[in-house]
Every structure is written in C-alpha cells, then in structure tokens.
Structure 1
Amino acid sequence: MSLITVNVGAPSLERAQRQLCWLAERTEDVLVLTETKATAGSQFLAEAFSAAGYAVTFPDHAPGELGVMIVSKLASTPDPLGATLDYLPARAAGIVLDTADGPLRVIGAYVPSHDATAAKTERKKTWIQHFSRALEATASKAPLLLGDLNVLEPAHQPPHRGQFAPVEYDFYTGLTEQHGLADLYRHLHPDSVAHSWARRADLGYRYDHAHGSPTIRDSPCGCR
C-alpha cells in the first residue's frame, strides 16, 4: 500500500483542473490533499474523484477555512477522529481502511499557521490542544498513519531559532511521547537533512511528516 500527501494550495477551478490531470495518474492508493477550501476548485476535485469511483472524504469547510481531503482507491469508512475534533474540524480528516492485516487508520492534518499576531498564535495553540485530545479520545488498537502537520522537529537543520513556539515543538514530540507515533522519515533516515518546503534554496523546512504506530514503523516501509 502507498500513500502521498500533496498541498493543493486552495486551488482555483482552473488550477484544480490541471491538478486533476496529475493526481489522476498517481499510482498511490491514498491521496491526502491538504490546504483544501470551500471553493469551486476543491469541490471540483472531490466531485471528479467521486465520479471516478474513488472514496472521497471531504469535511465541511467553514467559509474561508482551510482543511484536508482524503481520496482513496480502496474502500474506507470514516475515522472517529473527524466527529471528535470540535475546533476547526476541517483541519483534519480521517478514514479507516480494511487491509489484509486488519484496519488501518489514516489521518490527514493541516495544522493552522501563525504569524506575529497574538490571535493567530492562540488559534494554532488551541487547535493543537483540541487535536491532541481528539487523538487521545479515539485511540484504538488499530495502527494509525498521520501526516502532514506543518510543524518542525526540535533538532531541525537549519534551526530557524525564534520562528516557532514551544507549543509547536511540544506537539511534535508529544506525537511520540503521548500518542506512541514515530516520525517515519526520521526513523528510516536518522541523519538526513531534507526539506519539503523552501523559501529559497538555502532556507528549507521539513514541515511535512508521516507519523506511524509501532507496527507501521517496524514493518517494511519507505518514507520520502
């Protein structure tokens, strides 16, 4: 089984039509699309994949709010986290896949960004707290795969000191210490310096992550 996360950038209808040409040719079984929005572009993607027979999970987005869509070639049922998250709920979407090894939970999360304003900083902090509680409340024996997050690991290179708050680093470490999830990329590439987004060539960030339960971490897998 393979999965990919793609930031679609709250697409216009014209951009979404071009994105669909690329996404429809992907070989992955599950597409986790982040930065979706209640606009014609995101709705077009949801309707096009649904019409083609994919299982589409696209939570209701409040006007102007960003979120997540999950598109699966495999049959799925809603993960309980979606109904449990009670603050900016469109920022996370979850499905349960019926695999040969039993149920697999897949959760996509698009953590709110923040800037220098107190309001956006508090908004991000509040969402992280509510998401962590929802993750705890829906914990089960089924293995879980979570991405893409929009946070950095504490030992990130370059350090980007002062740009991120303790609550953000605590959220990253809490996924392992509180929820038992491993950073799969870091587990497989312990010394690698890799970035998923860059403001310029010499200023990169590994914002995007795949965290998995121990059974996923210890099974044959790849992460890039």
Structure 2
Amino acid sequence: MPKIAAPHFLVVIGFLIASISQAQEIALLKYDGGGDWYANPTALPNLVRYCNSNIGTTISTKIPTVEPQSIDIFQYPFLHMTGHGNVVFNDAQIENLRSYLLSGGFLHIDDNYGMKPYLDKEIIRLFPDKQWKELSASHPIFSSYVKFPQGLPKIHEHEGNRPQALGIFHENRLVLLFTFESDLGDGWESPEVHNDPPNVRRKALDMGANIVKYVFTN
C-alpha cells in the first residue's frame, strides 16, 4: 500500500522548523486558564546564559513570549512552559501546537507546582492516541552534558514525591517533556529569589543544559 503523503501544511511547516532549528532559540509559551505562565521570570535568561557559557549554544537571553495559536511558535525549535495553576487550550491552539510538535518542534513543561491535573486533560486532547511515558534514568537526556545516574534531580520539595520526567513521543522522537515534582525552574532563578544553595542551583542548571543540548543535537 502506498504511503500517504503528509498534509501540505505540515510539509511546509516541517521545512520551516528544519530551516530555523540551527538558530537555537527558545520562547516562553503563554497559555490561557488563569495559570501563572509568567512565573520564574529570571529562570530562562539564567539558563540560557549558563548554556551559552558551558555547552556552546548561542541562544538570545531576550526570551520572547508566544501564544499557542500563533504561527510565531514555528520560529522557535524549543518552547518552554511553566506555572502553578490551570491550563486551557482552545481547539485552534490544540491544532497549532500539534502541528508544531509533529513537524519538528519541542515543548518542555516544567511544573512549578500544581499543573499536572489541568495539564493531563489538555494532553489527552493534544495527543488522544498517546500517553505519558516516564523516561528511565538511562535516557540520553540525563547524560547529554552532565550525568544524572538517578534521573531527574529534586530541586524543591512540595509533597515529598519523587521527581519524574514524563514524555510524549512521536516516531521515536521526544516531542514533549514534562518535568514533574522537580521544579527545575526555581533552581534556574537568580540566587536571591529562593536562596537555594549553590549546589542545588548547579544541579538544576546542569539538568537544564542537558535538556537544551539533547534537543539541539538530536
């Protein structure tokens, strides 16, 4: 049986993603529902500076904000999303995000605390044929820069649960990563925000660099 060609839109967007993937840019995803998508304002700029200094990236420290229904998301191979509360995507946003992820984009969602119940229902809408898969400690995302033999590190305690890296895969490619019960973003923030000790911030930044390096080299 002949293989069915991809929709023209996905083909065009695929070429767009491929053409800009070398730009190594990151954008912050703004979402609806009332959750604080703007949480941890110093986190991404600090992570970017750390990556540029340690793994040779050339990412801009001026992090743009994009909305899930906008074609602008296709300019950025890496989207980051965080917050504490409710997450809602409308149908147009779901369709655009799905097209972005299936055509080469990547979304990292870092739970600042409390996102999972709201996020779960939206992920079912985004990928009704897929389920979260927990990444084992042997996954290369835990060793692309610094080795984390136990997997995702614990940065902040909330309910005492173990940290989990949950993924959505498409054709064996990790398209969406949800870091849960870890709170990496708090560890990326400037030292005076949470008064984390240097070794804790270093773990968070190293794991962030692992994610960035994995996405831009795979």
Higher-RCO chain (CA-CA 8 Å, sequence separation at least 6): 2
Q: Compare the two structures and name the one with the higher strand fraction.
A: 1
Q: Compare the two structures and name the one with the higher helix fraction.
A: 2
Q: TM-score, normalised by structure 1?
A: 0.34
Q: TM-score, normalised by structure 2?
A: 0.35
